[in-house]
Amino acid sequence: MHPEPLTPGAVLSGGLERRLLLLLLLPFGLVALVSAWFQYQAAGTAAVQQDQRLLRLAHMLSDSVVAGVADPVESDLNGQPVVLPLLLLAPPVEEFLNEHEGTAGYSILSTQGQLLLGEAWLPTVLPVTAEPEFLSVTEGGVTYRVIAQRVSTSAGELIVQLADGSDARQHWLHSVVSRVLLPNLVLMVAAALGVRWAVTRALRPLMALKNAVEHRSPRDLSPLDAEATPAEVLPLVHSLNRLFALVNAQTEAQRRFVADAAHQLRTPLAGLQAQIEAWGLATRTLGGHDSVSLPVEQVLRLRTAARRTTQLANQLLALSRADATSADPSAMQRVDLKDLCETVLAIHLDAAALKHIDLGLEAEPAQVDGHAWLLRELLINLVDNALKYTPAQGCVTVRCGPAGAEGEGPWLAVEDDGPGIAADEREKVLQRFYRVPGTAAEGNGLGLAIAHEIARAHATHLQLTPGERGQGLRVRVAFRRC
């Protein structure tokens, strides 16, 4: 069985909430670790201070020992009577023992390790030098810090030991748990609950945005409400609105294209149908002989209608491809404008010769970044349009050049000495299927519209101006610098 896919809400909620929870609670954990480290350092410092205090008290304890009397019963290893010292505790030592009753103790030993005074449970440590020795021992579940030192007293050379059960290092773990880890743990649990509640509440507008997009109809491309969107998500909403606008524009363009194409194809197809029906009627009138031929004039009309239909279909296809490229531009490539002009010029030489039009070329080396097939289609439409509207014995010139010194990029232009286009008509002729009223030449009103769409796909536009001598039309396209 395949696992069920996660819904966008689950991904959004789980992913963001987990990340935010982790990022917010991680500092608490780090603070707890740092606090534990500082507690340990403080415990170490307190232990050093404790050792220094025990050393001072051990000196006072040795000063508290005075000579006593020999014990007639006890004897040392050499058989000599043991001298039992007397102990007159110094006030600081007495105060220390009273304050730590049950967790402190002392002992006075002979140099042979025989206990003379004090606690019997203390370990027997026999330092060989006058340097103090520190050690830790455990007795009754309590860890004691013990100092042992060989000292010279009025009762002779003895060993004094002093123990303190309040060793800071044995209590630091309990201190860290009770003062640092436990409060931080409680705080982290409370923070986790609070953060989850706050994140869920803060993400509510984002979840509403997700639901608004998820439950939209595929045909609903209206912009999202940016007023109810948090500032952090506003760039995403603007990007989505721009995407909706582009998709809507593309959909509208395709809808217009289909409607215009269906409308424009009716006329040449109706003409073809009329010519064929006329031929059929003539055949039936003459007896139905298959050998009956069409008049030359009717054949020419059929050919013209067929050519016009073919040209219209090609132009509609080019216009559709230009629309698609404008909405979703693909990777561009380097295009040589001079080679492009020479290629297009060669295609139109025969058509220019039939009308006795002087078709010329003035080209300088120039290159642009663009779609080669689209630029070729643009130039073909401009040259075809110029040849169509230029009268016999006229002149059509194709030009191109490199970037100029005034910030303009590479360019190409087509100029003719035909009737030109009035200033108030120049914007209209860029619309699809628009033809200037009173135009005698046949056409579909798509040549300049196709060139205009291709120019837009290359982030530029057509410049329509009169020719150099104030007559005719010059169509110029200036591209961006490479």
Which pLDDT score is estimated for 181? Answer: 66
- Tell me the mean pLDDT per 10 residues along the chain, length 482: 43 58 73 70 68 85 76 56 74 86 86 85 86 83 84 85 74 60 74 74 74 73 74 78 80 69 64 66 58 60 66 65 56 88 93 92 92 88 90 93 81 92 87 76 76 87 88 91 75
Task: State which fold the 66-167 domain adopts.
Answer: Beta-Lactamase (3.30.450)
What are the distances in angstroms from CA 304 to CA 193, 298, 322, 351, 442? 81, 10, 26, 15, 10
Question: For residue 216, how far is the Cα from the chain centroid?
Answer: 25
Which pLDDT score is estimated for 416? Answer: 93
**Cα(236)–Cα(226) distance, integer angstroms:** 10
Q: Give residue limits of the domains in the chain.
A: 66-167, 216-328, 331-478
Which pLDDT score is estimated for 71? Answer: 56
Per DSSP, 430 falls in state G
Q: Would you report the helix, strand and coil content of the chain in percent, each value rounded to 5? A: 50, 20, 30
Strand order in the sheet with 358-363: 358-363, 395-401, 411-416, 473-478, 462-465
For 200, the enclosing helix (H) or strand (E) is helix 182-202
Contact 247, 221 (CB under 8 A): yes
- For residue 79, give every residue at least 6 positions away whose Cβ sits within 8 Å of its Cβ, in sequence order, or none: none
Q: Is 2 helix (H, G, I), strand (E, B) or coil?
A: coil
Structure-token pair, residue 383: 């040259």
| Domain 66-167 and domain 331-478 have a common topology | no
The superfamily in CATH containing domain 331-478 is Histidine kinase-like ATPase, C-terminal domain (3.30.565.10)
- For residue 427, give every residue at least 6 positions away whose Cβ sits within 8 Å of its Cβ, in sequence order, or none: none
- Amino acid identity at 383: V
Which pLDDT score is estimated for 43? Answer: 61
Per DSSP, 165 falls in state S
Which residues face 142 on adjacent strands?
139
**Cα(254)–Cα(145) distance, integer angstroms:** 91
Which pLDDT score is estimated for 283? Answer: 62
